Amino acid sequence: MRSKVTASLILIVIITIVAGIINYQGLVAKNARLVPKLGLDLRGGVRIVLEAQDTEGVPATSEAIDAAVSVIDKRINALGVSEAIAVREGANSKRIIVELPGWEDPEKAKELIGKTALLEFKTEDGTVVVSGGNLKDAKLVFSQEQDSMGEPQIAFTLDADGTAAFAAATEANLGKTISIYLDSQLLMSPTVDSAITDGQGVITGGFTAEQAGNYALLLRSGSLPVKVVTVVEQVVGPSLGSVFVRRSQLAAVAAFVLIVLWMFFVYRYLGLVSGAALLLYANILMAAYLVLRATLSLPAIGGAILSIGMAVDANCIIFERIREELTGKKTVKGAIAAGFSRAFRAVFDSSLTVLVSTAFLFYFGTGSVRGFAVTLALGVLVSMFTAVFASHTLTDLLLTPAIAKQSRKFLG
């Protein structure tokens, strides 16, 4: 039994140390890869308003505008934790509002958002053999060829239809060129030496690494189905700012102290276990935010606060169950084992319902709603680890023979 507790304790210590190092790098050392990102309401950023326009043969229909919003959303907010937003101004509006927290350059934002990103492979007679719609994947790579070692390139993979069309086109144009265009701009015109039948290739064009990465992102997200023009662009200042951040920090510390004091008053030694688990929870959750590059905004903070409540609530459910077991004349050790085992179902079921809700929020939501769903789900998963596994381990560790004889002092 003690060996199991020891192994569990070692795992908890390792996770705590790793999370602590990540938090130190991001919050104290200000490592650029881990420094926390603040949302538009805390840090400011760029807000751009786009308007869809009719062009010859491509009218700006409601369906096309909705599709454009979807493409832009993929470009700016693939996971939802960046808190970037792309929404229509109204149900019947032709305008799309885009908000990018932390951005300072509207021109760079417009280049990423408003670019059509129409990829075309054309033969010498101008026939389009493959388009961006046939792309399965595109990513930044660096050349391994001796004459172009380290040159940024775009590696692409075609879908089944594109692979078949490209194989037929390359076989029919041996010794000729097939040019690659992006938004009608020539990127390269390689000569076909042999038929390409695997649907894979690279695009070169004297790119910088940033350009190749941005092009790959644009191609992965798809081309805009309708022309959009920028009608408003502005750099937005933080609506809440540093004062709110400082007050939030003070509120968080005060709330934590009050929770620990209350839990100790009600549950004695187990209240201390709950406080230690809550510290571990905050440590792991913040590290997860930093690793995922989650943007700390009001929705993200709201998700974290809700999950803190669930973590403490789970401890209360478990401790009350232990108290009930003690009334049945069980030993303290037996009551703890039964309490954690029998309360687990209730804790698991409540966490699962929240996770199902967050899954629906993430799937159907956009922007900050998806960010809230991600941070809440992450908090629930971490709280399950700390409130059940870590609390159980710390409780077993705290249960010395002397304390085990004093059930009232142990639980209150």
For residues 130 and 124, the answer to whether their CB atoms sit within 8 Å is no
Q: Which two tokens stand for residue 247?
A: 């007050």
305 and 215 in one domain? no
- pLDDT computed for residue 16 by the predictor: 92
| pLDDT, tens only, 52-98 | 888 776 788 888 888 888 888 877 776 555 667 888 887 788 899 88
Taking residues 115-141, report their average pLDDT.
83
Q: Structural domain tally of the chain?
A: 3
353 and 365 in one domain? yes
CB atoms within 10 A of CB 384: 21
For residues 46 and 100, the answer to whether their CB atoms sit within 8 Å is yes
298 and 339 in one domain? yes
228 and 204 in one domain? no
Chosen domain end from 236, 258, 293: 236
For residues 220 and 138, the answer to whether their CB atoms sit within 8 Å is yes
pTM: 0.62
Q: Residue 127 in 3-state DSSP?
A: coil
Residue 248's pLDDT band (cuts 50, 70, 90): confident
> Does pLDDT of 1 surpass 70?
no
Q: Residue 196 in 3-state DSSP?
A: coil
| pLDDT, tens only, 102-111 | 777 778 777 7
For residues 120 and 181, the answer to whether their CB atoms sit within 8 Å is yes
> Does pLDDT of 366 surpass 70?
no
379 and 284 in one domain? yes
Residues 6+ positions from 326 with CB-CB distance below 8 Å: 332, 335, 407, 411
165 and 80 in one domain? no
- pLDDT computed for residue 318 by the predictor: 86
For residues 130 and 166, the answer to whether their CB atoms sit within 8 Å is yes
> Does pLDDT of 328 surpass 80?
no
Residue 401's pLDDT band (cuts 50, 70, 90): low
CATH code, domain carrying 261 = 1.20.1640.10
Q: Which two tokens stand for residue 134?
A: 């046939």
Residue 356's pLDDT band (cuts 50, 70, 90): very high
148 and 71 in one domain? no
DSSP β-ladder status, 200-203 and 95-101:
unpaired
Average pLDDT over the chain, rounded to an integer: 81
| pLDDT, tens only, 277-301 | 888 998 998 898 888 877 777 777 7
> Does pLDDT of 21 surpass 90?
yes
Residue 407's pLDDT band (cuts 50, 70, 90): low
264 and 305 in one domain? yes
* 293 against 154, higher pLDDT: 154
Q: Which two tokens stand for residue 2?
A: 């003690």
CATH code, domain carrying 60 = 3.30.70.3400
> Does pLDDT of 368 surpass 70?
no
Please provide residue 136's backbone torsions phi and psi, each rounded to the nearest 5 degrees.
-100, -35
Residue 2's pLDDT band (cuts 50, 70, 90): low
- pLDDT computed for residue 284 by the predictor: 92
124 and 103 in one domain? no
391 and 303 in one domain? yes
Taking residues 20-36, report their average pLDDT.
84
- pLDDT computed for residue 402 by the predictor: 64
DSSP 59: -
Q: Which two tokens stand for residue 89?
A: 């101004």
Which range marks the domain in which residue 127 is found? 116-222
Chosen domain end from 222, 248, 271: 222
Please provide residue 208's backbone torsions phi and psi, each rounded to the nearest 5 degrees.
-85, 165
Residue 265's pLDDT band (cuts 50, 70, 90): confident
216 and 138 in one domain? yes
133 and 57 in one domain? no
Chosen domain end from 236, 262, 277: 236
How many angstroms separate the CA atoms of 399 and 225, rounded?
A: 65
Between helices 269-292 and 2-23, what is the axis angle to 10°? 40
Residues 6+ positions from 80 with CB-CB distance below 8 Å: 362, 365, 367, 370, 371, 373, 374
Residue 15's pLDDT band (cuts 50, 70, 90): very high
For residues 295 and 367, the answer to whether their CB atoms sit within 8 Å is no
CATH code, domain carrying 138 = 3.30.1360.200
